[in-house]
Structure 1
Amino acid sequence: MGDLGIWAAWAAALTSAATLVVTTVVGGRREHRLWVRDALTDAFVAFLEASWQHSDLFHAQSGQSESPPAGATEAYAEMRSQLTRLRLLASGNVLRACEELLRQQRGVAEAGAGADRRAALARVSELRRKVVAAAKTEMGL
């Protein structure tokens, strides 16, 4: 009977160790996925907020001046910074959408006041929706 008890104890110990390893590996992967998703969400939100800020500044200017409004350069720089974070975390489809939006934001700044700028802002709005769709796909939403 003593040998049977020893084998049962060993079996229980091995089962416990195996369960611990599997739980640690699965839990670690889950935590990593959650971290990546949170980091992506933060980067997408910051990127899009900077895009909105940039557009709002030019929209508020409403053709009064050819020069960029105060704060526009900083908003564009924030978009570039967040794009760097996205390059580390996101897929190629997302990056292409974000890069296209960033280029168009630059186009807003370079467009003359009036109809050209309004058209550039309209294109930014379309591209922002494209970024949101790509972000949702990336995050499985």
Structure 2
Amino acid sequence: MSSSALSAAAAIAAAVISLATLVVTTVVTSRREQHKWVRNALTDAFVAFLDASWRGTDALAAREGEEELAKAYADMRSNLTRLRLLASAPVVAAGVELLRSQRAAMTAQEGTTTAALEQCTLGRRKVVEAAKQEMGLR
């Protein structure tokens, strides 16, 4: 083989290796970015869901109007939908349990509100634990 043929073969080999490296890098970067996006979206959904729960609980404790309670509950439902799209079944189950506890607290009879609010607190703890598990923080 002549030196020009060897040079051409080396150039082709270098181009193929370069292309393979580019493809692998693109795939790995894409997966990493997708994972980062999902983690950020999950964090946002967890925070919004828990924030809405706290707003509802605070409104109940302060005996604020029905409007704030309804808004907080609607926000919880909306963010639970986001969690259904992004999170695993245990996270969704904890979220549903908290949403039900929140509804029970909203409709609790006078004198049983404190116990209902305690259930909300327990529900939030379960959501936080499920969130940590989901995000690999435990």
- Indicate the TM-score class for this superposition, using the shorter chain for normalisation: over 0.9
Q: Among 99, 124, 127, which residue is 2:120 paired with? A: 124
- Cα shift at 1:112: 1.2
In 2, Cα distance between equivalents of 1:137 and 1:8: 50
Letter in structure 1 aligned against 2:84: R
What residue is the counterpart of 1:75 in the other structure? 72
Structure 1 segments of 4 or more deviating over 6 A?
none
- Return 5+ residue gaps in structure 1 as ranges: none
**CA shift for structure 1 position 137:** 0.7
Normalising by structure 2, report the TM-score: 0.95
SS of 1:49's partner is helix
Correspondence list, 1:82-93, <5 A: 82-93=79-90
What CA RMSD, in Å, does the superposition of the two structures yield over aligned residues?
1.2
Match of 2:50 in 1: 48
Q: Could you say which residue in structure 2 is the equivalent of 1:137?
A: 133
Higher RCO, Cα 8 Å, sep 6+: 1
- Counterpart position of 1:111: 108
Q: TM-score, normalised by structure 1?
A: 0.93
Count residues with an aligned counterpart: 135
Match of 1:21 in 2: 23
Percentage of identical aligned residues = 57
C-alpha distance in structure 1 between counterparts of 2:13 and 2:110, whole Å: 78
Query: How far did residue 60 of structure 1 move?
Result: 1.3
CA distance in 2, matches of 1:15, 1:3: 18
